[in-house]
Amino acid sequence: MPYIERNNQNQIVALHATAQFTNQEFLNPEAAEVQAFLVLDPSTGSTDDGLGGIKGVLSASDLDSIRILDDLIFLLIKQNTIRLTDLPPAAQKKLLSRQKLRSQINDLPELLPEEDPLL
């Protein structure tokens, strides 16, 4: 995820786990456009949820939690506590897809030089 669906104004109106039509655009889940859509209040069309940004904080927390769960599952697999094949096929597919995307991000060259430590 996410395959995105746009309206005539080129705004994201939906996110899909799989492509719903040919040549559907895929965006990195961490892309600013995707993140903005996730905190959009559908009733007002605004990112102001009236709760002091609580929905935005929860959305960011959810993304962090997903990463933790991914890491935990792969740790359990590595320790032979569970097998990937113990999981339902849909879960296997999603985990392997996320692992592939994360490896592509990690394979990117370092864009910024390392900073010297403060101490």
For 85-104, the pLDDT digits (tens) are 999 999 999 999 888 888 87
Contact between 39 and 56 under an 8 Å Cβ cutoff? The reply is: yes
Q: Where are the domains positioned within the chain?
A: 1-54, 62-107
Orientation angle between helical segments 54-78 and 89-106, nearest 10 degrees = 100
For 27-86, the pLDDT digits (tens) are 888 888 887 777 755 555 555 555 545 566 666 677 778 888 988 999 999 999 999 999
* Cα→Cα distances 107→36, 78, 104, Å: 26, 21, 5
| pLDDT for position 84 | 92
* Cα→Cα distances 19→5, 31, 37, Å: 10, 18, 18
